[in-house]
Amino acid sequence: MKRRRRRSRTPLYVLAALLAAFAVGFLGGALWRQPRPVPADVAAREATPRPAPAPRETPRVTPRATPRPAGGRIALVIDDLGRRPSDLATIAALGVPVAHAVLPYEPHSAAMAAAAAAAGAEVLLHLPMEALDGEDPGPGALRLGMDDAALAAATRAALAAVPEAVGINNHMGSALSADRRAMAVVLGVARERGLFFLDSRTTAATVGFRLARELGVPAAERQVFLDDSLSAADIEAELERLRALALEEGSAIAIGHPHPVTFAQLAAEVPRAQAAGVRFVRLSELLAR
């Protein structure tokens, strides 16, 4: 009779040891994966809100100031010529360009215009026009009551009396120069003759300069009247204003008249202005074309 072999059994104490080791490993891993406590000082630091980073400063660029011109230009005009031939020599003695505005029907108009042109000066027809205050502009004046044909004929007749004229400016004319219809006729004649127009601005309501630009006539406008007052101090003040305006704006146009006090103040001012960097130029250089 054969004996049965006993099956080998793992001792119970070995199984118990394995189970204990597994439990210890499991619990240790779980504890290792849990977050570690944060030290108090670190926790306080982390809880304090951090300031936002300062924006990056854009470099400042200081804009360059537009350089002002080193000097300015002045164009001088002397109105009401044609009465006294000696005025030509007084103007020439100034030693700078001066536009000669000649009235058409004075005793010496033709001779003075011809002499000024022969000397190289720019000659203007100083065209008489109706004024608001009723003051008489002189012979051959253009008046608002004239129709277009009469206005054109009067303008052409005045030009025939001063054939050397390269431009026209108004004598008086505070009424007529504010009338668009009448000025369109005058400027139409200037355009057909190839002449420029200087608006003397005897009224703030003038349409002359603006209308000339619209019609394609080269034009300019006066900035300073030198001798509304015949006080030497007042004329000197206007000359100082003229100089400052030319230096500030780059150019300026002044109108004066053939009075001894005006000539005396001009003779004193010209070298002062030149020393300040001002150039005296021909009127045609300052035209808007």
The rounded distance, in Å, linking the Cα atoms of 135 and 198 is 21
The identity of residue 183, as a single letter, is M
DSSP for the chain reads -PPPPPPP---HHHHHHHHHHHHHHHHHHHHHHSPPPPPHHHHHHHHSPPPPPPPPPPPP-PPPPPPPPS--EEEEEEEEESS-TTHHHHHHTT-S-EEEEE-TTSTTHHHHHHHHHHTT--EEEEEEE--TT-----TT-B-TTS-HHHHHHHHHHHHHHSTT-SEEEEEE-TTGGG-HHHHHHHHHHHHHHT-EEEE--SSTT--HHHHHHHHT--EEE--EES-SS--HHHHHHHHHHHHHHHHHHSEEEEEE-S-HHHHHHHHHHHHHHHHTT-EE--GGGG-B-
For residue 101, how many other CB atoms are within 10 A of its CB? 30
In this predicted model, what pLDDT tens digit does every residue of 222-268 receive, in sequence order?
Answer: 999 999 999 999 999 999 999 999 999 999 999 999 999 999 999 99
Reported confidence tier of residue 71, pLDDT bands at 50, 70, 90: confident
pLDDT at 15: 42
In this predicted model, what pLDDT tens digit does every residue of 166-175 receive, in sequence order?
Answer: 999 999 999 9
The percent of residues in the chain predicted with pLDDT above 70, rounded, is: 76
User: From start to end of 98-256, where are the E strands?
Assistant: 98-102, 123-129, 167-172, 196-199, 219-221, 224-225, 251-256
Q: State whether residue 63 is helix, strand or coil.
A: coil
pLDDT at 58: 32
For residue 170, how many other CB atoms are within 10 A of its CB? 29
Phi, psi of 159 (to 5 degrees): -65, -35
The rounded distance, in Å, linking the Cα atoms of 176 and 141 is 10
State the pTM of this model.
0.77
Tokens linked to 126: 């100083």
Reported confidence tier of residue 70, pLDDT bands at 50, 70, 90: low
**Nearest CA-CA partner of 218 in 185, 190, 176:** 190
DSSP state of 160: H
In this predicted model, what pLDDT tens digit does every residue of 147-167 receive, in sequence order?
Answer: 999 999 999 999 999 999 999
In this predicted model, what pLDDT tens digit does every residue of 33-59 receive, in sequence order?
Answer: 444 444 444 344 444 444 443 333 333
Task: Give me the helix-helix angle, 148-161 and 180-193, nearest 10°.
Answer: 40
In this predicted model, what pLDDT tens digit does every residue of 179-233 receive, in sequence order?
Answer: 999 999 999 999 999 999 999 999 999 999 999 999 999 999 999 999 999 999 9
pLDDT at 197: 98
What is the fold, at CATH topology level, of the domain defined by 73-286? TIM Barrel (3.20.20)
Location of structure tokens 């001792």: 11
Q: Which residue has the higher pLDDT, 69 or 215?
A: 215
